[in-house]
Structure 1
Amino acid sequence: MRKVVSRDGTTIAYEKAGDGPPIVLLNGSFRDHTIFDALVPELAPHCTTYVYDRRGRGESGDSPEYAVAREIEDLEAVIQEAGGSAVVFAGSSGANLAIEAALAGAPITKLALHEPFYRVDGFPKPPWNVAKTLRVLMEEDRRQEAVEYFLGSFLGLTPDTVAQWRKGPIWAVNEANAHTLAYDLAICGDCSVPVDRLAGYTTQTLVLNSAGTSDWLRAAAQATAAALPNGRSLELPGSWHRIDMDVLGRTLAEFATA
């Protein structure tokens, strides 16, 4: 992987592929750049893709003290590698991070978001002590329990669903990146849609959700789009928190190149 040094000296690893206008792909909880392995080939004929490992994951470095501002600087460093400005696509808690970066003035030409982790009225918010509980579990190196707690208490997955996830091929990655869940919780804050701040963001923004996702994720996506002066909401075929890859690739390519 290529490397770029973020403002605080942390090394951020990224990969570049394709040809056309630049688009930076930003992952959410648990994952590293490999979450986009199937999406990059869909985009590469139309865009120059930049995928990177967020700090604390994969081949990227980390810092002793975490701050959301440092992750914003990481994204800006990758955008600089892309030529100084770029379209950004981000999903899950990565969408929350992309929004914070956009509101902080990151050079984003267009913004595409997939189901940010907000809770609108009518849907319960995560437990008030979720961050503290996760911190205790990680201090005791109880990584599996930390992952299970995040999936259940924060994402609202049932015990049966979590048990099925434990049998899957990426569970080991979940546990390996469990320490970064605290980063995502810091990014999400109290999970409220920042309506007042979004009202001043005029960059063209596409907010996606899948047809088979949870009601709270659909509501969060639609509320985010509604709060943006130049936002558009679009529902695409897919399952829980996942859009069919060929449809997602085609949609993002059209958005990035229009």
Structure 2
Amino acid sequence: MHKVVSRDGTTIAFERAGDGPPIVLLNGAFRDHTIFDALVPELTPHCTTYVYDRRGRGESGDAPVYSVEREIEDLEAVINEAGGRAVVFAGSCGANLAIEAALAGAPITKLALHEPYFRVEGHPRPPADFMANLSALLAEDKRGEAAEYFLAELMGLAPEVIADWRRTPLWATNEANAHTLLYDTALCGDFTVPAQRLATLRTPALVVNSDKTGDWLRAAAQATAAALPNGRGVQLPGSWHRVEMDVLGRVLVEFATT
């Protein structure tokens, strides 16, 4: 992987592929750049893709103290490697980060978001002490329990779904990256759609949700799209919190190149 140094000295690892206008792909909770392995081939005939490991994951470095501002600087460092301006596609908590970066003035030409982690009225938020409880579990190095707590209380997954996930090879990655769940929680703020702030964002935006996703994820995507002055929402075929990659690829190519 290529490496770039963020403003605070943290090394950020990224991969570049394809030819055409640049698009940076930004992952969400638990994952690193490999979450986009199936999407990149759909984009590279038309775009130059930049996928990177967010700080604390994969081959990227980290810092003793986390802040959203440092993560914005990481994204800006990758965009600089892409020529100084780029389309950004981000999902889950990564969508929250992309929104914060755009609001902070990052050089994002277009913003594509997949089901950001917000809650709208009628959908319960995580408990008020969510961050404190998650921090306590991680302070005791209870990574598996921290991952379960995040999935249950923030993502709303049923115990049997989490138990099934624990039996898959992917669970080891969940535990390895569990410390970054604090970063993703910080990105969620108070978990409400920041409609007043989004109303100031003039960046062209596309907000995607799956036709079979969870109710709170669909509602959050629709509310985010409605709050963006130059935003529109689109529902695509898929499953819970996931869109079919070939369909998503075609939509992103059209969005990024027109």
Give the letter for the 1:173 counterpart.
T
Counterpart position of 2:207:
207
In the TM superposition, 1:181-196 aligns within 5 A as: 181-196=181-196
| CA–CA distance in structure 2, aligned partners of residues 120 and 36 of structure 1 | 28
Q: Deviations over 1:172-200 (max 9, x none)?
A: 00000000000000010111101001101
Query: Percent same amino acid among aligned pairs?
Result: 74
2:30 maps to 1:30: yes
2:89 maps to 1:106: no
Counterpart position of 1:198:
198
| CA–CA distance in structure 1, aligned partners of residues 106 and 114 of structure 2 | 19
SS at match of 2:13: strand
Post-superposition shift, 1:10? 0.3
| CA–CA distance in structure 2, aligned partners of residues 42 and 164 of structure 1 | 30
Counterpart position of 2:56:
56
SS at match of 2:255: helix
Q: Deviations over 1:22-66 (max 9, x none)?
A: 000000000000000000000000000000000000000000000
In the TM superposition, 1:66-85 aligns within 5 A as: 66-85=66-85
TM-score (norm 2): 0.99
2:154 maps to 1:125: no
| CA–CA distance in structure 2, aligned partners of residues 169 and 231 of structure 1 | 37
| CA–CA distance in structure 1, aligned partners of residues 201 and 139 of structure 2 | 39
In the TM superposition, 1:136-215 aligns within 5 A as: 136-215=136-215
| CA–CA distance in structure 1, aligned partners of residues 111 and 168 of structure 2 | 31
Aligned pair count reads 258
SS at match of 2:17: strand
Q: Deviations over 1:55-112 (max 9, x none)?
A: 0000000000000000000000000000000000000000000000000000000000
The answer for unaligned runs of 5 or more in structure 1 is none
| CA–CA distance in structure 2, aligned partners of residues 27 and 249 of structure 1 | 15
Post-superposition shift, 1:3? 0.2
| CA–CA distance in structure 1, aligned partners of residues 199 and 160 of structure 2 | 40
| CA–CA distance in structure 1, aligned partners of residues 195 and 208 of structure 2 | 18
| CA–CA distance in structure 2, aligned partners of residues 169 and 20 of structure 1 | 35
2:239 maps to 1:239: yes
| CA–CA distance in structure 1, aligned partners of residues 151 and 168 of structure 2 | 14
| CA–CA distance in structure 1, aligned partners of residues 190 and 248 of structure 2 | 29
Post-superposition shift, 1:203? 1.0
| CA–CA distance in structure 2, aligned partners of residues 183 and 90 of structure 1 | 15
Counterpart position of 1:21:
21
| CA–CA distance in structure 2, aligned partners of residues 143 and 201 of structure 1 | 37
Counterpart position of 1:40:
40
SS at match of 1:113: strand
| CA–CA distance in structure 2, aligned partners of residues 71 and 131 of structure 1 | 18
SS at match of 1:70: helix
| CA–CA distance in structure 1, aligned partners of residues 132 and 36 of structure 2 | 31
Counterpart position of 1:257:
257
RMSD: 0.4
2:229 maps to 1:229: yes
Post-superposition shift, 1:169? 2.1
